[in-house]
Structure 1
């Protein structure tokens, strides 16, 4: 059995997808780490903060399934770009002064954009590597999530 060569640029793509997942998972923990300052600034009750925290997952799974169908029909790079744009646009309103409703809507949209991220990233890695060489790049991609949390916790605690 002969092994297929790895396409040029495949490892660069793997590294970029690692960073993609790092940001994705760092993003998930922001509201939890900033809970007390958010509750204080927006004068939220614990129930409202619970709704805010869980709102991220309202469309998370549904979006993952829908985008799973789409990614087989559209070039993966465009789907990844669209997801990253959704992340950026969903967080943009949070730069200024916002209220509970705006933050809630932004978190729902952000969850919809982040839900499909892992499966689309794995799909992309699988397109770049032949079957017999997919294990290591997939493992590297998966570690982006762990590093996202590992790096985000001290960084966000320092910022907050």
Structure 2
């Protein structure tokens, strides 16, 4: 079975000169500064909520300006754990189970994930892109293939 996703980029390119883009993950102010100084981009952690990401984007933009760096030369991105399900309680429960097994912290699921029906997930992901994420790494916690279809057909086109 093959997939065709229109309007999406495959990044990074396999061969790039002088090198592939270097992105750093960062949460602390000093790490954001370091990313601006040394990297080509920054990815907000999946373990941070949207509100924290918004704050970090503001700091990152300030550091870019302070350094005289062209913001277009620096990619801002975010990893987001998602669960699309019309039954919000079931989605949250499955996320809690996954986070508990994966990270030993079930409560983290409710703090950092996006879950619910497609409209709610779309709305929450839009907040991430509106905050400044040029690329979003969507991380389904379960039912990967089903989520790929739903995200590609019902969520991404509406962000």
- Quickly name the TM-score band, shorter chain normalised: under 0.3
Instruction: Give 1 or 2: higher strand fraction.
Output: 2
Compute the TM-score of the two structures, normalised by the length of structure 2: 0.25
Q: What's the TM-score once normalised by structure 1's chain length?
A: 0.25
Question: RCO higher in 1 or 2 (8 Å CA, sep ≥ 6)?
Answer: 1
